[in-house]
Every structure is written in structure tokens, then in C-alpha cells.
């Protein structure tokens, strides 16, 4: 029963994402995704409260601390990316296009709002919030982390299944987004999942993983896909091996979050 409750977090996110991404207006889809995720989780939090004999809301999932842990997630992930991309540039693996400051600023605002509401907040609430908290109540941290990350990997495929069902097959189910190699995609998603767990545990606040999630999406879209997204800046990979810089900066961020977590844990 515990693992079924934990799996519900992944299912809730898949439903929210699958339904929301059928909406053609980006900002409306983003708002819908967060609302659906919150609505689907609400009854389970009420049930948890009855089981514990006290009110158990979303704060129980780690939505505490506010701006400070959120900014920490942004700062650590950004610093890890800067260090990694600087090394890659000096090694000749990366080259950079011209910068359009106004376009970059516009991209950061518009992408930031949509990325938080469509992906960062609902995914952290359902997975590193509901699923991880559920598993952590009965298992060791590493088991909860592995279980949460495994459920995290099922979300993209489940979302496409839901889209296919809602559109009567017009949207075809897939394991990975169009153009992505499924194996590479799942390896990166696995590393990302453990980074997000480390971010959450570093402060005990889900906002740290929300900040980390947002920053990862923003950095990759601004650099790797900057030209495609008209972000005002872009990065070119001069070697096929340069793509390894993406998981590399996630690993650096994970180590940093581990150090921060140990520094703040009670002795």
C-alpha cells in the first residue's frame, strides 16, 4: 500500500502534464498543470492527516522556507554550470554566439514563469514532495531516493499515454520527447532525479529542488536550444563528447548539495 501511495505522485504528475500539454496556449497550459497536480494531491494529504490525527498539508511535503532555499537551488546549479561550461569553453568543446541582452531578459522571464508552473513546481510537489515523503516515512534515504527517481522516469511515457487516450490516438505514445535518444534521455533524467533529491535534502525544503529544476531547464534552453527558442543567446558543441558537460554539471551540483546538507545537519 505504501508503494501504491508513492506511485500516485508519478501518476498525478503524468495526468497533469498529459492534460495540460494538450492546451495550445503555453501560459494557460502551465497554470493548468500546477492546478491539476495540486487538486489531485489534495485528497491524499487530507487522508494522511486523518491517519496521523492532525492536519497534514503541503508543508508536510517540504514546501517551507520560501525564497531563501529557492535561491540556494538557483545559485548552486548556476555555479555548477558556469564552472563546467567555462572548462568546456577553455578546452575548445564549446563556442558561443552573440548575446542579445533584451531578448535574453525576455526569455528568462517568460520561460521562467512557464517552466515553474508547467514542470518545476508540479513535478517537485508530486515526486520529491509526495512520493519521496511517502517512501522516506518507511525506508532508508537511499531506497526512497531510488524509488522516487524510478517513478520520475515513468512520467514522460505515462503522460504521452494519457495524451493518446484523450485524443483517441492522435498523439502517439513515446518513451522520450521527439528527437531525443531514449537511452541518453533516461540516463540524463536519472542523474537529474538524484540531483533534485540532493537539493531537497540539503535544506529540507522542496523550494530548493524547485529552484534547481527551474535553473536546469533554463540553462539548457538558453544554451543548447537557444537558437531554436529565440532566447537571445546560444551555444554550439564543437565535439560530440561536449554533451557530457550537461550531466557533469549536475554531478557537481549534487556534490555541492551533499556538502551543504552535511554542514547544516545536526551533529
Q: What is the mean pLDDT of residues 44-64?
A: 66
What pLDDT is recorded for position 122?
98
Q: Residue 246: which residues within 8 A CB-CB, separation 6 or more? A: 188, 220, 224
H helix or E strand, kind and range, residue 108: helix 101-115
State the chain's maximal CA–CA distance in angstroms: 60
Residues 217 and 158: their CA atoms lie apart, in Å, by 21
Residues 8 and 213: their CA atoms lie apart, in Å, by 21
- What pTM does this model have? 0.94
Residue 113 has pLDDT above 90, yes or no: yes
Per-residue pLDDT band at 104 (split at 50, 70, 90): very high
What pLDDT is recorded for position 92?
95
Per-residue pLDDT band at 45 (split at 50, 70, 90): low
C-alpha angle 192-190-116 in degrees, rounded to nearest 5: 40
**DSSP state for residue 235 in the 8-state scheme:** E
Q: What is the mean pLDDT of residues 40-67?
A: 72
Q: What is the mean pLDDT of residues 97-122?
A: 96
**Over the stretch 138-168, which tens digit does the pLDDT of each residue have?**
999 999 999 999 999 999 999 999 999 999 9
3-state class of 66 per DSSP?
coil
What pLDDT is recorded for position 1?
82
Contact 188, 247 (CB under 8 A): yes
Q: Residue 168: which residues within 8 A CB-CB, separation 6 or more? A: none
**DSSP state for residue 54 in the 8-state scheme:** S
What pLDDT is recorded for position 58?
77
Q: What is the mean pLDDT of residues 101-125?
A: 97
Residue 40 has pLDDT above 60, yes or no: yes
Q: What is the mean pLDDT of residues 72-87?
A: 98
What pLDDT is recorded for position 180?
86
| DSSP β-bridge partners for residue 233 | none
- Taking the CA atoms of residue 70, residue 71, residue 74 and residue 78 in that order, the dihedral angle to the nearest 10 degrees is -160
Per-residue pLDDT band at 266 (split at 50, 70, 90): low
What pLDDT is recorded for position 179?
80
Q: Over the chain, what is the mean pLDDT?
A: 93
Portion of the chain with pLDDT greater than 70, in percent? 94
What pLDDT is recorded for position 50?
47
The structural domains of the chain, with segments of one domain joined by +, span 2-264
Contact 232, 226 (CB under 8 A): yes
Amino acid at each position: 500500500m505504501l508503494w501504491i501511495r508513492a506511485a500516485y505522485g508519478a501518476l498525478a504528475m503524468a495526468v497533469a502534464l498529459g492534460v495540460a500539454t494538450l492546451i495550445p496556449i503555453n501560459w494557460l497550459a502551465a497554470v493548468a498543470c500546477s492546478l491539476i497536480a495540486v487538486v489531485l494531491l489534495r485528497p491524499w494529504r487530507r487522508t494522511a492527516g486523518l491517519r496521523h490525527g492532525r492536519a497534514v498539508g503541503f508543508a508536510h511535503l517540504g514546501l517551507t522556507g520560501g525564497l531563501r532555499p529557492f535561491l540556494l537551488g538557483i545559485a548552486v546549479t548556476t555555479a555548477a554550470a558556469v564552472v563546467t561550461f567555462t572548462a568546456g569553453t577553455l578546452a575548445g568543446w564549446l563556442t558561443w554566439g552573440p548575446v542579445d541582452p533584451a531578448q535574453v531578459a525576455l526569455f528568462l522571464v517568460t520561460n521562467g514563469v512557464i517552466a515553474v508552473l508547467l514542470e518545476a513546481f508540479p513535478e517537485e510537489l508530486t515526486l520529491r514532495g509526495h512520493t519521496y515523503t511517502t517512501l522516506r516515512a518507511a525506508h532508508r534515504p537511499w531506497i526512497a531516493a531510488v524509488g522516487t527517481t524510478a517513478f520520475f522516469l515513468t512520467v514522460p511515457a505515462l503522460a504521452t499515454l494519457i495524451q493518446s487516450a484523450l485524443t483517441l490516438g492522435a498523439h502517439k505514445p513515446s518513451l522520450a520527447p521527439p528527437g531525443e535518444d531514449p537511452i541518453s534521455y533516461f540516463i540524463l533524467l536519472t542523474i537529474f532525479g538524484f540531483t533534485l533529491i540532493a537539493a531537497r535534502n540539503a535544506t529540507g525544503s522542496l523550494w530548493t529542488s524547485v529552484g534547481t529544476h527551474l535553473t536546469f531547464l533554463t540553462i539548457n534552453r538558453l544554451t543548447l536550444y537557444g537558437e531554436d527558442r529565440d532566447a537571445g543567446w546560444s551555444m554550439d558543441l564543437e565535439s560530440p563528447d561536449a554533451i557530457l558537460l550537461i550531466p557533469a554539471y549536475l554531478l557537481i551540483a549534487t556534490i555541492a548539495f551533499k556538502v551543504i546538507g552535511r554542514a547544516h545537519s545536526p551533529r
